[in-house]
Amino acid sequence: MIREIVQVGNEILRKKCEPVKRFDAELGKLLDDMKETLRAAEGAGLAAPQIGVPIRAVVVDVEEGYFELINPIFVWQKGEQVGPEGCLSVRGKAGTVRRPSKVKILFQDRNGDKYSIVARDFFARAICHELDHLDGILYTDKAENIRDAEE
């Protein structure tokens, strides 16, 4: 089911999200909805608080594939990249954000199984952006210049 994406100004976007403890059908349904909502919005990533659920779950859809990251944490962050970002919760805007160029994260999948991945370039940027959402941080807090997006 496509869910409504919460927009900036809603306080849920500023919450520190709770870890996922139950890897059950309800979580599966939430992730299915997040995937459908992300695809419909043609975005690169979506965090659970963006559909009003303040838990530590994000989905990322990039060249490298589609990923569901539950309880993700950084192992390390390296390098630096500077590039444009937008957010489905800040419609019509874009900004330039400095991010690490390479990150390693640990996460769980929807079954609770543990994995790690190393991501580079845009994939790393998408992960950093989405993980920030889990701590109530928006890219606009970090962007050097916020402008109207070219759409």
Residues that bind Co ion (CB under 5 A): 87
Considering the complex, state which of residue 71 and residue 129 has its C-beta at the smaller distance from Co ion.
129
85 as an active site residue: the answer is no
CB-based closest residue to Co ion: 87
- For residue 113, give the 3-state DSSP assignment: coil
* Nearest CB to Co ion, comparing residues 21 and 74: 74
| Residue 94 identity (one-letter amino acid) | A
> CB of 138: closest distance to Co ion in angstroms?
7
Q: Taking the mean position of all CA atoms in its chain, how far away is CA 141?
A: 15
**Tokens linked to 82:** 């500077």
Q: Choose, from 64, 80, 130, 144, the residue flagged as catalytic.
A: 130
Find the shortest distance in angstroms from Cβ 60 to Co ion.
Answer: 11
**118 Ramachandran zone, left/alpha/beta (phi>0; psi -120 to 50):** beta
Distance CA 63, CA 65 (A): 5
CB-nearer residue toward Co ion: 35 or 112:
35
- Residue written as token pair 């543990």: 114
User: Active-site residue numbers?
Assistant: 130
